[in-house]
Amino acid sequence: MSNLSTKIIAYLGRTPDFIEEVILQNDTGTDYIKEWNATDKAKPTDAQLNALSSQATALENTAKIDAKRQTEYLSWQQQFEMIYKDQKNGTTTYKDHCDKVRSDNPKG
């Protein structure tokens, strides 16, 4: 189940500033929109946000995959070293590494 902030991201088509534009609160055990200051779209209804649940869940799943991939890619220094050695030796170590990270963590 997707959370409210992700439904808002799906609704706006972008990530708002959750400090200035859209302020969420949870003082009843349920998240709700305390303040809506986004000027590009009107404040959504609960029905509009609930209709975006599957889209928001997909966004959350993609973010989890991206985070996992980031932990599996090596540091930029190690990546540059692989690229350098590949060019020097005619190998594909860097490409193979990237392909493995992607195949181990597919998106959809």
Could you report the per-residue pLDDT of 28-43, keeping only the tens digit for each? 889 999 999 999 999 9
Q: Is 82:94 a contact under the CB 8 Å cutoff?
A: yes
For the chain, percent of residues with pLDDT exceeding 90? 93
pLDDT at 37: 97
> How far apart (Å, rounded) are the C-alpha atoms in residues 82 and 36?
48
pLDDT in tens, 75-91: 999 999 999 999 999 99
What is the chain's mean pLDDT, rounded? 94
pLDDT of residue 1: 53
Gap between the terminal Cα atoms of the chain: 17
